Amino acid sequence: MSRAEPRFFLPEGVRIVSTGAYLPERVVTNADLVAMGATLTAEEMERACGVCERRFAAPDQATSDLAIAACDRALGDRDRTFVDRVVVATVSPDHMTPAAACTVQHALSLGYAPAHDLTASCAGFIYALDLATRCVATGDRQVLACAADVRSRFVNFHDRSTVALFGDGAAAVLVGSGAPNVLGVALLAEGSGARAVYVPAGGSRLPASAQTVAERGHTIVMADGPQVYLAAVDGMIAIGEALLARLELSLRDVAMIVPHQPNRRILERIARLMRFPIERMWINVERTGNVSGASCGIALDEALRSGKLVDGSLVLMIAGGAGYTAGAALLRVDRELLEAS
């Protein structure tokens, strides 16, 4: 992935109007995972991935419920009739069909706004942001771009390589026209990695059956963790640096990196290899876990509320995930966005 060439979109007059995020109430510690059947100790989990706790959705919550909460926070009391599209990036939709976005659209009283999902795994938030900026650039008034996942329903609690990683949550941005703060987006995919991290059963390749359930075929499989680990590092660095180069900027111009949160060690490695101060990288993985596509958006929402960004700060978002997919986006934070967050 490091040698691949991303596709760029440098929008004009497109901005993130506001952000919102939602984490379920239930906190699940590493000790809780041990009680659920994990075969690592709590200390081993923390050392392996730096995650101390994560949030799990309540039994009656599905992905759309989390997305609705995040989108509702992003919308606030704004006039919802201006929303011309809703896109939800997810790898754990409520159902195989229809799109979770349709449930979100209805719950938020967004009229007849087109609503659809997209699947880009851990790069989902940036893929959704890319789509939203393109839609606004070509005529939509406002677009809700959301990433939401309930990964806890797809975790094999006996799988040492994945049991500690994942959490549930959602993030959303309202994208519209105006003084631009989205300077550029870069995306790529490298499909040769499609089986590196995947859920084998439940799709058309291997439909659900008693056997697939018995064999835990509906849970996340990551057969070669080190390869995924290093590929994620290489991909996230490469696409971030490529976007900066395309915009004729460098890391010296960047106030903060807001990355996808795959695990703490990956983020430390990225900071070291990019020679970027880790204290200027927004890291929340120790308390959220890897929330797949929503991670980057949740981190952005937190960073904007942190008081560490000011009018004019450049924020580089980077993400990489299953597929492989990768994305980067560069924002120039402005006062209006800070006040809206």
Partner 1 sequence: MSAERLTSLLAGLVSIDDSGTFEDLDSLRLIDMVERVESEYGIRIAAEHVTPQAFANVNALAELVLRLKKEGA
Neighbours of 163 (CB within 10 A): 24
Residue 181 designated active-site: no
Closer Cβ to partner 1, 82 or 229, answer by number: 229
Q: Annotated catalytic, 158?
A: no
Q: Residue 226: what residue type?
A: P
For the question of residue 284 being annotated catalytic, the response is no
Among the residues of the chain, which ranges form H helices? Answer: 30-35, 42-49, 63-75, 100-107, 124-137, 210-214, 225-246, 264-274, 285-288, 294-305, 335-340
How many residues belong to the site for partner 1 (CB under 8 A)? 17
Binding mask 204-233 for partner 1 (x = CB under 8 A): ---------------------xxx-xxx-x
Is residue 156 involved in binding partner 1 (CB under 8 A)? no
Q: Which amino acid, 291? A: V
Using the minimum distance from each CB to partner 1, give the nearer residue, 1 or 318.
Answer: 1
Catalytically annotated residue among 30, 181, 263, 290: 290
Instruction: Pick between residue 70 and residue 274 the one whose CB is nearest to partner 1.
Output: 274
Say if residues 222 and 254 touch (Cβ distance below 8 Å): no
Contacts of 115 (CB under 8 A, 6+ apart): 85, 86, 87, 88, 99, 101, 102, 104, 105
Binding mask 20-59 for partner 1 (x = CB under 8 A): ------------------------x--xx-----------
Given the residues 52, 71, 102, 260, the one annotated as active site: 260
User: Between residues 1 and 135, which has the closer beta carbon with respect to partner 1?
Assistant: 1
| Active-site residue, selected from the candidate residues 122, 135, 146, 296 | 122
Q: With binding defined as CB under 8 A, does residue 2 bind partner 1?
A: yes
Q: Decide: is 265 part of the binding site for partner 1 (CB under 8 A).
A: yes
Backbone angles phi, psi at 271, to 5 degrees: -60, -40
The 3-class secondary structure across 53-112, one letter per residue, is EEEECCCCCCHHHHHHHHHHHHHCCCCHHHEEEEEEECCCCCCCCCCHHHHHHHHCCCCC
Nearer to partner 1, 35 or 223 (CB): 223
Active site residues: 122, 260, 290
Q: Which spans of this chain sit near partner 1 (rule: CB under 8 A)?
A: 1-2, 44, 47-48, 161, 225-227, 229-231, 233-234, 265, 269, 273
